[in-house]
Amino acid sequence: MKLSQFKFNLPESLVANNPSEQRDEARLMVLHKDSGKIEHKIFKDVLDYFDDQDVMILNNTKVFPARLYGNKEKTGATIEVFLLRELNKELRLWDVLVDPARKIRVGNKLYFGDDDLLVAEVVDNTTSRGRTIRFLFDGTDEEFRKNIEILGETPLPKYIKRKATAQDKERYQTIFAKHEGAVAAPTAGLHFSRELMKRLELKGVNFAEVTLHVGLGTFRSVEVEDLTKHKMDSEQFIIEQKDADIVNLGIERKKKICAVGTTSMRAIESAVSSGRMLKPANDWTSKFIFPPYDFSIANSMITNFHTPESTLLMMVSAFGGYDYVRHAYEVALKEKYRFYSYGDAMLII
């Protein structure tokens, strides 16, 4: 398939800048693959589509406050440092993106916080905006993390044209987030409230958790027309044996296996056994899923509405069928569904 096949015009007014008032009250579009029917619901209605012993696979990664603002030595110029991932805990080496990049060179010292709570030194150039920095900090790892927590800002995507608030700290995080390491939320999971989880549980739905630490590579734009030539960035994922067992039992029972979000889907599709079952893993994946693709584990999926020409839209099109998903997006635009991280949801069954 070609990149141009995933183009569509998205009005600025449909980009969600804020979450819905209640987590489970965003809108929900339901796509029925067998009949081609489309329904318009509220997210909490997801309860009506799942039964006893069905399985939902959740990504329990936790977003950390990855966006730091500081000053450059000598000039005092304001700089933004976006923490991507820790490269070495002992040396406090981090892979980061910097802005404005042209002003930040190897050897520069960067200061964060009113009383220079953290100081870092640029030790390498990795890409045009990428740098490796070393934090010059003598305290414990716990103290270091606390300082990041104090200084860091919730890493809202750039298309949300406002400053992050205290509300975002809670709402740009799933209620089942456990393992810190993501620089973006697994957004399909943001719609689950505690009450909805309880009601699904009472109905007999089983939850399996995977961890995939979402990096910015998930959102990196595709710059080649021939999709087979696009390379995804690697992201770390972990699947425990107990969670693989829950999923595999659901497969054996011929139940609904629902991947909650593209990140959960990418994790499970990166750990398929020769018998097309889910296996435990602790690995990195750069799997890129686009049509046509034969899915092995999930037979249903919850996702948000994605950016034109994004790898996320490509995966959803592979799962739902290109023409059907294309039509659903036309309906979503007409019905004014809200798009992106804080937007509305889609269930494909």
pLDDT tens for each residue of the chain, 349 residues long = 999 999 999 999 999 999 999 999 999 999 999 999 999 999 999 999 999 999 999 999 999 999 999 999 878 889 999 999 899 999 999 999 999 888 888 999 999 998 888 999 999 988 778 899 999 999 999 999 999 999 999 999 888 988 899 899 999 999 999 999 999 999 999 999 999 999 999 999 999 999 999 987 776 789 999 999 999 988 999 999 999 999 999 999 999 999 999 999 999 999 999 999 999 999 999 999 999 999 999 999 999 999 999 999 999 999 999 999 999 999 999 999 999 999 999 999 9
How many other β-carbons are positioned within 10 Å of the β-carbon of residue 173?
19
pLDDT for residue 103: 83
Helices and strands, counts by H and E, the chain:
7, 17
Residues 265-295 as b or e (16 or more Cβ within 10 Å = b)? bbbbbbbeeeeebbeebeeebebbbbbeeeb
Tell me the sheet residues that pair with 259.
57, 301
Q: Which pLDDT does position 93 carry in this prediction?
A: 95
Query: Where do the structural domains in the chain lie, given as residue ranges?
Result: 3-63+170-348, 67-153
C-beta of residue 29 within 8 angstroms of C-beta of residue 332: yes
- Residue indicated by tokens 């249903």: 300
Alpha-carbon distance of 184 to 214, in angstroms, equals 6
pLDDT score at 157: 87
What is the phi/psi pair of residue 206, to 5°?
-100, 145
pLDDT at site 233: 87
> Which pLDDT does position 221 carry in this prediction?
83
The structure tokens listed for 157 are 């995507």
- For the chain, give percent helix, strand, coil, nearest 5: 30, 30, 40
Identify the CA nearest to 213 among candidates 233, 232, 235. 235
Angle between helices 311-320 and 262-269 (to 10 degrees): 70
- pLDDT for res 23: 97
Select from 334, 332, 348, 310 the least CA-distant residue to 27. Answer: 332
The answer to whether 30 and 335 are in contact (CB under 8 A) is no
Note the pLDDT of residue 128: 79
Q: What's the pTM value of the predicted model, to 2 decimals? A: 0.92
Q: What is the pLDDT of residue 75?
A: 80
For residue 75, CA distances in Å to 19, 71, 86, 133 come to 38, 8, 27, 19
The number of residues making up the chain comes to 349
- Non-local (6+) Cβ contacts of 262 within 8 A are 188, 218, 303, 312, 315, 316
**What pLDDT score does 280 carry?**
98
SS3 318: helix
Phi, psi for 287 (deg, rounded to 5): -65, 130
Q: Are 264 and 56 in contact (CB under 8 A)?
A: no
User: For position 114, what pLDDT does the model report?
Assistant: 82
Q: For the domain with range 67-153, which CATH number is right: 3.40.50.1980, 1.20.1290.10, 2.40.10.240, 2.60.40.10?
A: 2.40.10.240
- How is 262-281 classified by DSSP, letter by letter? HHHHHHHHTSB-TTS-B--E
Alpha helices in 166-281 (DSSP H): 166-171, 194-202, 241-252, 262-269
What architecture (CATH level 2) is domain 3-63+170-348?
A: 3-Layer(aba) Sandwich (3.40)
